[in-house]
Chains A and B, each alone.
Chain A
């Protein structure tokens, strides 16, 4: 390929050097390039929030960023949160409160909430609904997600 970009990026604390086609979206780079399939691809035009990752600590839509744009920067995906055996309190809360059914939206919601809960340790229900307003869930009706966030806030305090 004549038109490649030599990308250096840190994802979940690991450095990667990859040659990428510049038109590769960050979401596809994470999934297809690095095999980090926890980041989900839903609408691919910035509406559903399933592809949310943290770019230098801030939640962004990875389907609206080209891979070369994260050159020399830090990404965190849901894989960076915890493991099956050692879950993050936020993940534990989602499990305990039954905050997911199909789970497609969950990675985007978790990555959105991680920095938000640090800034908002005692959120109200309205605060929580506002915080997840950029993430679509078609299964739960959101109620159990709201419950999980309250539980997570307690666990993380």
Chain B
């Protein structure tokens, strides 16, 4: 089990990367952390003719404040994000998510941008960036564009990026005041791919009425799956245990589309979604009430 031969390129700047991927198109693959790409290459599921290693571009590893939120260079490694004080302060949801991602050996190597560009529907960051309404800065030789999360993830392991595009930055907007958040997942073994998971955000007004609700699910379809109808049950209302139960049922029955596989049946995944949504909404609600 060894990768097929490829031409190895290790450029030292973003313009050099853009030139290479523009020249080679679908024949080239970008190597970020490699924690998903290299297993696929070892199995020869992916056989790029040209491998463009972007690990020698240190300027893609920043974590900075940005419009009350933060922005991250695409090559920020999971372990870097996990320990970063700015992320802890500005985006506690990301901070709490990081240790749940894979194992320490993977987190030391895997990158935020690589995970997002890989767009695995069971990846925590895909769901978290969706629920946070992150924006993705994409560059090619013609220029750059900013793509919102709901236009970035387009299907199974698919983003809206073209072969000549490079994801360079992820922007995480700040949450409104009185917002609470939560991420809940179930995996057979700690750090393994989750059978089901949900990231939730609730925002309350001064009278504790819900003004905004977002739930996004992992392992529930081809990509990050949101539950706008369940969110609509919450919005405009006072959050009660009954309302949380109703929204959880709505999402788990009508809005997600989990598959059956060797690890779990679709029915079991829907059951998990129901329970996890309830727990996530309760936690998000408590945090929103306690928040400033």
Which A residues fall within an 8 A CB radius of B? 3, 5, 21-23, 25, 28, 44-46, 49, 52, 55, 58-61, 63-66, 68-69, 71, 112, 116, 130-131, 133-134
Q: Tell which of A3, A46, A49, A63 touches B8, judged by Cβ atoms closer than 8 Å.
A: A3
Report chain A residues within 8 Å CB of B6. Answer: 22-23
In the complex the two chains form, is A23's CB within 8 Å of B39's CB?
no
Q: Give the bracket for the number of chain B residues in contact with chain A.
A: 20 to 34
Report chain A residues within 8 Å CB of B55. Answer: 69
The distance in angstroms between the C-alpha atoms of A65 and B105, with both chains bound, is 12
Report chain A residues within 8 Å CB of B109. Answer: 55, 60-61, 64-65
Q: Return the chain A residue nearest B109 by Cβ.
A: A60
Report chain A residues within 8 Å CB of B262. Answer: none
Is B161 interfacial (CB 8 A cutoff)? no
Report chain A residues within 8 Å CB of B104. Answer: 59, 112, 116, 131, 134
Is B255 interfacial (CB 8 A cutoff)? no
In the complex the two chains form, is A46's CB within 8 Å of B5's CB?
no
The distance in angstroms between the C-alpha atoms of A50 and B43, with both chains bound, is 18
Report chain A residues within 8 Å CB of B189. Answer: 133
Given A64-B39, A66-B38, CB of A52 within 8 Å of CB of B105: yes
Which B residues fall within an 8 A CB radius of A? 1-8, 10, 31, 34-35, 38-39, 42-43, 51, 53, 55, 79, 102-106, 108-109, 189-191
Interface SS, A side: mixed
The distance in angstroms between the C-alpha atoms of A3 and B39, with both chains bound, is 22
Residue among B2, B79, B108, B189 with most chain A CB within 10 A: B108
Q: How far is the CB of B280 from chain A (nearest CB, A)?
A: 22
Q: How far is the CB of B73 from chain A (nearest CB, A)?
A: 18
